[in-house]
Amino acid sequence: MNNTARSFAYVEPTIVSLLILSSFIYLLNIARLIAHRLFYAGLVGEILVGIIYAAPLSNILKTEWEQTILDFGYLGLLLLVFEGGLETCLDFLAVKSNLFLSSAIGFTEILTPIESFAMGASLNATSLGTTFAILSSQGKYQLNKSRMGTSLVGAALLDDISRLVIASVIEKLRYLRQ
């Protein structure tokens, strides 16, 4: 068994690589600011810059960079959901009318026809992290501590749970078919 330490040789990044990464980070911030000023949704600006720089449109970013950004994005999403869970006011969700409203909104996709089942699984995306990001970006209004914010968080939570169940059922169906 070989117990030698594994290391990577340092390779100085090229000026092109540095310019691409710095322009990506700079434009993310600028796009967030512009989108926030135009329609109070800075997240949309960041998504547009990601679409422009990544594989769907121009493929400026290297695949390794995209994977690293994706990994950091997942870590950020976990931290965002954790922070949102800490800040959520469960007193509002415990009220029957709010619980009913959150449940009704969250389970609407379950009541859709079976054809939508596979489509819902293929378009599986988290809404909880986006909900927390939008609610926390409106800090001066403290929407995350309001009845509306708590209802949105509850609906997004139920929506994500149902999506995870759908994804696991689709995975099991794949093995049954083989």
| CA 100/CA 72 separation, integer angstroms | 35
- CA quadruple 133, 80, 88, 123: dihedral sign: positive
Structure tokens given for 111: 């009541």
104-126 b/e (C-beta count within 10 Å ≥ 16 → b): ebbeeeeeeeeeebeebbeeeeb
Domain ranges of the chain: 12-61, 74-177
Q: What's the pLDDT at 25?
A: 94
Note whether 120 and 109 are within 8 A (CB).
Answer: yes
Q: What residue ranges of the chain have pLDDT lower than 50? A: none
Query: pTM here?
Result: 0.58
| CA 16/CA 112 separation, integer angstroms | 49
Q: 14: which DSSP letter?
A: P
- CA quadruple 88, 92, 95, 100: dihedral sign: negative
Amino acid at position 151, single letter:
S
Q: 138: which DSSP letter?
A: T
| CA 155/CA 26 separation, integer angstroms | 34
User: Per this entry, what is the length of the chain?
Assistant: 178
Q: What's the pLDDT at 34?
A: 94
Give Cα 160 distance to the centre of its chain.
11
Note whether 84 and 136 are within 8 A (CB).
Answer: yes
| CA 145/CA 159 separation, integer angstroms | 20
| CA 46/CA 57 separation, integer angstroms | 15
Of 77, 73, 92, nearest to 132 (Cα)? 77
Q: What's the pLDDT at 70?
A: 85
Q: What's the pLDDT at 138?
A: 66
